[in-house]
Amino acid sequence: MEIQKTALYKYHKSLGAKFVSFAGYQMPVQYTSGIIEEHKLTRSNAGLFDVSHMGQLFIEGNHDLTKELEKIIPTDLKNIKINQSKYSFLTNEIGGIYDDLIVTKLEKGFNIILNAACKKNDYKIIEESLSNKFKLTLHKDLSLIALQGPKAVKILENIIKGVSLLKFMNGNNFSYEENKVYITRSGYTGEDGFEISLSNKIVERFVKILVSKGAQPIGLGARDTLRIEAGLCLYGHDINETTTPIEANLKWAISKRRREEGGFLGYNKIKSNINGKLSRLRVGIKPVGKIIAREGVRIFSQNENQIGSITSGTFGPSVNGSIAMGYVKYDFAKPGTKILLEVRGKKYEAIVNELPFYKKNYVR
């Protein structure tokens, strides 16, 4: 299959980006300053991410669409406001997660941001579930960029007036040089910031203006370290078709009404998880010392019984130490529990840690 490129590929190249193949796309993993520097810049200033590989799915419909979508998405779509966004999932029959999503309610339907590796499969699942009753558009003409960090709001307000008034997880239509752009106050770094959907035709021009105002282009490498510090899941690693939202420590993302009423795929399994039938839980883990515990590292109890495995791990520049996430048997999930990690055949001490590792700076 031919590898795809975003509309900003040439621009990334001109900045000296190193590329990796990710979800069928050539994506910048880092620029010349390196991952740690890019990470720190996002936390202290404003980082600019090209996330155009993600799927932008618009579904046109009314009250009936809301009812149909609630059969596969466990969010209270009926009661969210116009332009409000929610983090949610596409669930399967056994309560597993086909994908995690950001769902935004619009005046004429819903916009759903899909993970790049899942978007084609998600489209099929949603289309089949909706029985071809509604118009679905998976946009190929739109780019998606994320501006993240404490200075993001000042930089963007300089270019597009009114964005500073947006509340966290809310969006709206704005205009840039007579072009329509849709902006939500959201992100994947633990920082205040925005995700901006705009035409492929104007994205490079827009990005260059953001950079001229102080934003720094950031690659996938720092995006990963930022999201792990913030305790955020990466689909296909920390969550997948076999993990339920409750096991993934994401119960908060299933709204109260839906937890009580159900009516969505996998509800029976999810309800039994909520009622205490939970064998494992996603937790934060801090290795003692300098070892980095990557995905796949096995987790053991102190008496050396295997109790789980790591799903994401890195060095966290903002916390200045090794951090990881993984699943452990429920009895070992309490913060402060001492565990062992097997790295290259040798066992090292670690401690179960509260998530997130880094205090989130969202604007509420």
Q: What is the pLDDT of residues 267-289, one digit of tens each?
A: 999 999 999 889 999 999 999 99
Residue 8: closest CA among 154, 153, 210, 171 = 210
pLDDT of residue 121: 96
Residue 56: closest CA among 202, 241, 198, 163 = 198
Q: How confident is the model at residue 208 (pLDDT cuts 50, 70, 90)?
A: very high
pLDDT of residue 363: 79
Residues 6 or more apart from 233 whose CB is under 8 A from it? Answer: 100, 239, 248, 250, 282, 325
What's the mean pLDDT in 335-341?
98
Residue 28 phi, psi (nearest 5):
-70, 125
Note whether 213 and 292 are same-domain residues: no
- pLDDT tens-digit readout, 18-36: 999 999 999 999 999 999 9
- pLDDT tens-digit readout, 215-253: 999 999 999 999 999 999 999 999 999 999 999 999 999
pLDDT of residue 4: 96
Note whether 34 and 58 are same-domain residues: yes
pLDDT higher than 80, residue 364: no
pLDDT of residue 62: 83
Query: Which one of 212, 242, 275 terminates a domain?
Result: 275
Query: Which one of 275, 295, 322 terminates a domain?
Result: 275
Note whether 177 and 315 are same-domain residues: no
Query: Which one of 275, 305, 338 terminates a domain?
Result: 275
Note whether 240 and 338 are same-domain residues: no
Note whether 261 and 296 are same-domain residues: no
Note whether 167 and 112 are same-domain residues: yes
pLDDT of residue 19: 98
Note whether 258 and 195 are same-domain residues: yes
| Domains contained in the chain, number | 2
What's the mean pLDDT in 181-204?
98
Note whether 234 and 327 are same-domain residues: no
What's the mean pLDDT in 41-53?
98
pLDDT of residue 21: 96
Buried b (16+ CB within 10 A) or exposed e, 195-220: bbbbbeebbbebbeebbeeebbbbbb
Across the chain, mean pLDDT equals: 97
Domain range for 360 is: 279-364
Q: What sign does the CA torsion over 343, 346, 351, 352 have?
A: positive
pLDDT higher than 80, residue 339: yes
Note whether 261 and 343 are same-domain residues: no
pLDDT higher than 90, residue 315: yes
Global pTM reads 0.96
Note whether 299 and 337 are same-domain residues: yes
Q: What is the CATH number of the domain that holds 287?
A: 2.40.30.110
Q: What is the CATH number of the domain that holds 114?
A: 3.30.1360.120
| Residue 279 C-beta-side C-alpha neighbours within 13 Å | 6
What's the mean pLDDT in 340-357?
97
Instruction: Say what percent of the chain tops pLDDT 90.
Output: 96
pLDDT of residue 16: 98
d(CA 142, CA 201): 8
Q: How confident is the model at residue 105 (pLDDT cuts 50, 70, 90)?
A: very high
Q: How confident is the model at residue 309 (pLDDT cuts 50, 70, 90)?
A: very high
Residue 131: closest CA among 80, 184, 65 = 65
Note whether 266 and 293 are same-domain residues: no
Note whether 109 and 24 are same-domain residues: yes
